[in-house]
Structure 1
Amino acid sequence: MPHDGWHPHDEHPHHHHGPPTRRTVLAAAALLPFGAASAQTVDAAQRIADAANRFLVSLDEGQRQKAMIAFDSGNRLDWHYIPRSRLGLALGEMRAPQADAARALFASVLNRRGLELLDGVRLLEGVLREQQGSFRDPGRYYVTVFGTPGRFPWGWRFEGHHLSLNVSLPAAGHVSVTPFFTGAHPATVRDGPNAGFRLLGASEDLARQIMAGLDDRQRKAATIADRSFGEIVASPQREQDLGSPRGLLLGEMTGAQRTLVEALMDRFLGTLAADLLAQQKQRVMEQGLAGFRFAWAGSLTPGDAHYFRVHGPVTLIEHDNTQNGANHVHAVWRDLAADFGRDALADHYRQQKHR
């Protein structure tokens, strides 16, 4: 990752030793406002609202009723990445121009690499369809719009098997894109026309490169368990299971080692449109990158079950490859204070009460 905007050696780290209970996460949120509304984020919010409205206008009345849900619906926070019934409008129910409008909505938040990531998840669903049957369906990925685009708070979600992108615009100039989950099954396609395809392989390769470049003391500090966990820890409603950040402090790495960790983080954050990426880089810097920790669990032998994460005061990136003979990845990027726009939404509601 280029160093524009990161410059880890110039920062003043805020070390975070206590467990991220709800209290400490809220304290971190108080110290780390999600950035004042900048011209960049105001422009991004307008772009996203325009794309959402164009998508909704493309739908007929029945489709619109399926796609739109109240912002305060509990369903907005009910994210998951398993095959299950979902509210919203499925891609398979859209005509081609409507699907194009949906993709333009995704492109209002994601860059080309981000769009290719979404495509890759659905491509793998097609691979599973060939192997397991028609219940695996690349058309069963749902767009849901919460609230009214342009009227704060509002947001949208794109979700299906192995995918959950949650975009929230809780107040003017604030855009949240987490939780952002992607999965890959198979992690490596073994045969057929897509043989060799590794949707999330670059993340694994970087994490292995990080571990290979550590000295014995560093590797011991980074290794938090002999076996992988079998699942990401911060799966839906399980954030509290994380405990305090564990692993090797980035502040105890060399510059070259830290650059690799930044590149690993970029595999997640670097899927965003340029203005939103700049906002998220600033978010990371405010936490003090030297206080982040890199952790590994499981075997270092390629092909064996493994897990890794990068964990800061509120930013969390996880990757687990254990299931199906270590050929099934679950990966997530979360913001433990600002998922679903919670931090700015709380400020928004407080301000409403005082008017």
Structure 2
Amino acid sequence: MKLKSIFLLVGCNLVVAIASAQGLNALATDFLNTLDPELKSKTIFTLDSEERLNFNFIPIIRKGPTFHDFNDEQKQAAMALLRASLSAEGFRKTKEIIALENVLLELEGGNFKMPDGSGRDALNYHFCVFNDPATEQFWGWRFEGHHISFNFVGSSGKIVSSTPSFLGSNPAIVREGKQKGKEVLKMESELGFAMVNSLSKEQLGKALFSEEAPREIFTTNKQEVTNLDPLGISYADLNKDQKKALEKLLMVYLDNYESRFSNSLLDKINASGMENLSFAWAGSLTPGKGHYYRIQSPEILIEYDNTQNNANHVHTAVRDLTNDFGRDLLKEHYSESHKH
């Protein structure tokens, strides 16, 4: 089945209706119940397994079944779970990033190959579930493939952790072919440039930490973010319009998540204080050359990097510095359980 058909199987209105009638646990259980025993054994892992922390965003050999393994019913149930786990905007970006695999296949002439002989493939995105959502209080699931990694932890029918998360786009802007002009992560780019170019010379002196952009985001696929000191200009050193611009850029990333989780993450940032946010930049101040920016606070780290392929290849990541993989929440839960 073609990619377009997969997403048509579960339209936005249908999924919204399903999600409102069922908790996330029920959607995950429904998905698992469509799988035969062999496929289910390839899908489910324990929440404390090493595999749950084994996230990545490059083309590699992964565990978990893909769209290739699913029949229509299974695809529909899998996509219902994904749609309910993201916002409409996050779901749109996910679909369009997957579709870029077909663009790369055409641009590269099918020459890209992985060790198992597979190449660019819009069906090669993997589903893994951690713990049984029907019986366990805490469970998780992951949707992952080239340029996408979403790592969720759920409890009581809702998402309690959605990080680390990664979205990338290659090409950042499609230069030729049927999708010419397509720019999946357009707001991340445009609002970043608007923010840095709003700074005065003195402010830019604080924000710009390097004339050259890093080749890759600093956090890559590290399981824990450590020793990454805040850089750049603080929220307190911005004027009123610049503060609004930084908040708007922040929300471009938070709005990828399901609304309840997005709001909870924003509440956590607000509770600490927006004045603890910082904005840092490296590289070119205009499109077409390598550039990078970072938004950071004690609670959150957002990275954007566009250096590869002549600065037409974007990587973005969001890390919850207090609860990546739901670690802190699970630690608190197990600590309370042991007391009893």
Contact 2:294-2:304 at 8 Å conserved across structures:
yes
Deviation at 1:156, TM superposition (A): 0.1
What is the rounded CA distance, in whole Å, between the counterparts of 1:242 and 1:95 in structure 2?
Answer: 45
How many percent identity over aligned positions?
Answer: 36
**1:259 paired to 2:244:** yes
- Equivalent position amino acid for 2:143 in 1: F
Q: Secondary structure at the match of 2:331?
A: helix
- Equivalent position amino acid for 1:68 in 2: I
- Counterpart residue number, 2:304: 319
Match of 1:164 among 142, 149, 157: 149
Contact 2:234-2:276 at 8 Å conserved across structures:
yes
Deviation at 1:87, TM superposition (A): 1.0
Contact 1:174-1:344 at 8 Å conserved across structures:
no
**1:121 paired to 2:97:** yes
**What's the TM-score once normalised by structure 2's chain length?**
0.87
Q: Secondary structure at the match of 1:228?
A: coil
What is the rounded CA distance, in whole Å, between the counterparts of 2:246 and 2:284 in structure 1?
Answer: 19
Q: Secondary structure at the match of 1:325?
A: helix
Change (3 A) 1:78 1:92: same
Contact 1:230-1:322 at 8 Å conserved across structures:
yes
| Higher RCO, 1 vs 2 (CA within 8 Å, ≥6 residues apart) | 1
Q: Secondary structure at the match of 2:318?
A: strand
Q: Deviations over 1:134-182 (max 9, x none)?
A: 6011111001000011412210000001110000136887610000101
What is the rounded CA distance, in whole Å, between the counterparts of 2:95 and 2:159 in structure 1?
Answer: 27
What is the rounded CA distance, in whole Å, between the counterparts of 1:241 and 1:350 in structure 2?
Answer: 23
Q: Deviations over 1:30-76 (max 9, x none)?
A: xxxxxxxxxxxxx99x7211110111112222221111111111010
- Counterpart residue number, 2:11: none
Contact 2:209-2:232 at 8 Å conserved across structures:
yes
Q: Unaligned stretches of 5+ in structure 1?
A: 1-42
What is the rounded CA distance, in whole Å, between the counterparts of 2:257 and 2:218 in structure 1?
Answer: 24
- Counterpart residue number, 1:138: 122
Deviation at 1:353, TM superposition (A): 1.5
- Equivalent position amino acid for 1:138 in 2: A
Deviates more, 1:149-158 or 1:219-228: 149-158
- Equivalent position amino acid for 1:176 in 2: S
Match of 2:160 among 156, 164, 175: 175
Deviation at 1:273, TM superposition (A): 2.3
- Equivalent position amino acid for 2:277 in 1: F
What is the rounded CA distance, in whole Å, between the counterparts of 2:155 and 2:260 in structure 1?
Answer: 17
Deviation at 1:314, TM superposition (A): 2.3
List aligned pairs for 1:236-255, cutoff 5 A. Answer: 236-237=221-222, 240=225, 242-255=227-240
Q: Secondary structure at the match of 1:89?
A: coil
Q: Secondary structure at the match of 1:175?
A: strand
List aligned pairs for 1:195-274, cutoff 5 A. Answer: 195-237=180-222, 240=225, 242-274=227-259
**What's the TM-score once normalised by structure 1's chain length?**
0.84
Q: Secondary structure at the match of 2:161?
A: coil
Q: Deviations over 1:306-328 (max 9, x none)?
A: 00010011201100001111111
Q: Deviations over 1:6-25 (max 9, x none)?
A: xxxxxxxxxxxxxxxxxxxx
Q: Deviations over 1:177-225 (max 9, x none)?
A: 0001011111111101110111112111001101121111111111111
What is the rounded CA distance, in whole Å, between the counterparts of 2:224 and 2:200 in structure 1?
Answer: 31
Contact 2:100-2:169 at 8 Å conserved across structures:
yes
- Equivalent position amino acid for 1:246 in 2: L
**1:70 paired to 2:55:** no
- Equivalent position amino acid for 1:115 in 2: F
What is the rounded CA distance, in whole Å, between the counterparts of 2:234 and 2:245 in structure 1?
Answer: 14
* Pairwise CA RMSD: 1.8
- Counterpart residue number, 2:26: 50
Contact 2:24-2:154 at 8 Å conserved across structures:
no
Q: Secondary structure at the match of 1:244?
A: coil
Contact 1:47-1:108 at 8 Å conserved across structures:
no
